[in-house]
Structure 1
């Protein structure tokens, strides 16, 4: 790679990293989460969200009810909810979001249960965040690979990405990352040492029609669970543990005590 190409590569990575940091510092992002509340059918009140909340079975799905007292308000889909009971759902994993002043309240389904996850811009966790260090961008960690789709999906997995390194073949299970992209969870020999122990993630560009796909491991990022205990993150399957150190991408985030 020429000096000019390396400079362009590094500049593109810096722009990507700065945009990523901006998203992490979003006052309604993961670092702003103050709790994860698991609902039951019995109404409960929480310190970080208005209303009394309960889970509601809806046939094969689930929903939630929030009951507001006089003087309490939430905004949902542009409508202001005031005193009384309000049904939300059916819910899926993406859920729905309500606004309460400058805070938001996420309501979503997780394994047949309902969670309420408030996010506040004055979260102590967000104030403590000092950034996510990364390995220096290195074109050597842009790896060619081949996408081998499954004849039919295996659960939510759509296929495998096959790469070769140091004379060995490695196969990583991949999921649909939307718009034709592939989403990969992986661990490697840096996990728990310089990078988050549970896993990191990588989103690829769509594979070409003949299955060629590029893994730019410089853009490997942490999952939300690296930033908050209030996330519900999947884990990488055993097949997605690489036997070498991927010294590229995000390292463990820095949080001021």
Structure 2
């Protein structure tokens, strides 16, 4: 393993400014989570098949096949796709893995997506109690000690990596571009990284010794900015967040690869959601 910097121990670190920046970030994160059409508004998870199905929280009759999902809307029913009003039959086309389309319906949104090779429909209704009752997610107090300098080490070629999912029997496959190496209290550690949502950014799924105790048992996620030219990157565990499966069983979130199950207790970032306080 290549040499990496150790955790800074500067007693003069400006904890007040660090905490203020973290609070602003976490406030923005929770605002997005509680969006009227965010994941807390999901009311159901429907697995589409070639057999026509109707659902109580969505219009139309739904099927899927080699050419992608199709909805046939009844007389008087309409949805909005790409800003256009749609009636009758609508073909969504083939949806790529982890891709999706958001169609409007009344004051709600219909998420048509592909997860683990399966086409799904997830209606999102703003008045769903999980969203309207949301009061925020507990988190550890921000601590600069957990903002760890690290180094990104790319693989010679992306490595296809299969991981489990929050839904039993489902699998996700990611092309892992590399790993992130760091030290904590003198111990060398490494985490496999997956591609993030922005070009060059990284996503790290992990568990640690707090998982199932003070944090959600299945996973947490850490989003990283693109590494610098020399590979340097910062692992700020204070910004470790829950995935949607921490709040609802209607999520298909990926689980961490085996090598990302840390033995240390990462007492930083988001804790077990109040919505799961009885499901440790």
Normalising TM by the smaller chain, what interval?
over 0.9
The question of 1:126 aligning with 2:93 is answered no
The question of 1:41 aligning with 2:45 is answered no
SS at match of 2:65: strand
Q: Which runs of 5+ in 1 are unaligned?
A: none
**How far is 1:4 from its partner?**
8.0
TM-score computed with the length of structure 1 as normaliser: 0.94
Cα distance in 1, alignment partners of residues 218 and 192 from structure 2: 16
The question of 1:68 aligning with 2:70 is answered no
What residue is the counterpart of 2:188 in the other structure?
169
What residue is the counterpart of 1:14 in the other structure?
23
Match of 1:228 among 226, 234, 248: 248
What residue is the counterpart of 1:152 in the other structure?
157
Cα distance in 1, alignment partners of residues 257 and 195 from structure 2: 15
In 2 relative to 1, CA 174–4 (structure 1 residues): closer, same or farther, beyond 3 Å? Answer: closer
**How far is 1:171 from its partner?**
1.1
Match of 1:91 among 95, 102, 108: 95
After superposing on structure 2, the runs of 4+ consecutive aligned residues of structure 1 that deviate more than 3 Å are: 1-4
Deviation string 1:10-67 (CA, Å, 9 cap, x unpaired) is 1110100110111111110111000010011111100000000001213xxxx11100
SS at match of 1:143: strand
SS at match of 2:110: strand
1:20-39 mapped onto 2 (5 Å cutoff): 20-39=29-48
What residue is the counterpart of 2:204 in the other structure?
184
The question of 1:206 aligning with 2:223 is answered no
Q: Is the 8 A contact 1:131 1:255 kept in 2?
A: no
Q: Which runs of 5+ in 2 are unaligned?
A: 1-9, 161-174
SS at match of 2:77: coil
What residue is the counterpart of 2:239 in the other structure?
219
Q: Is the 8 A contact 1:128 1:255 kept in 2?
A: no
Q: Is the 8 A contact 2:13 2:144 kept in 1?
A: no
**How far is 1:96 from its partner?**
0.6
Cα distance in 2, alignment partners of residues 8 and 39 from structure 1: 49
SS at match of 1:50: coil
Q: Is the 8 A contact 2:42 2:123 kept in 1?
A: yes
What residue is the counterpart of 1:139 in the other structure?
144
SS at match of 2:267: coil
SS at match of 1:135: coil
SS at match of 2:94: strand
1:71-82 mapped onto 2 (5 Å cutoff): 71-82=76-87
Cα distance in 1, alignment partners of residues 49 and 21 from structure 2: 47
SS at match of 1:131: coil
Cα distance in 2, alignment partners of residues 99 and 153 from structure 1: 37
Q: How many residues align?
A: 252
The question of 1:117 aligning with 2:116 is answered no
Q: Is the 8 A contact 1:172 1:239 kept in 2?
A: yes
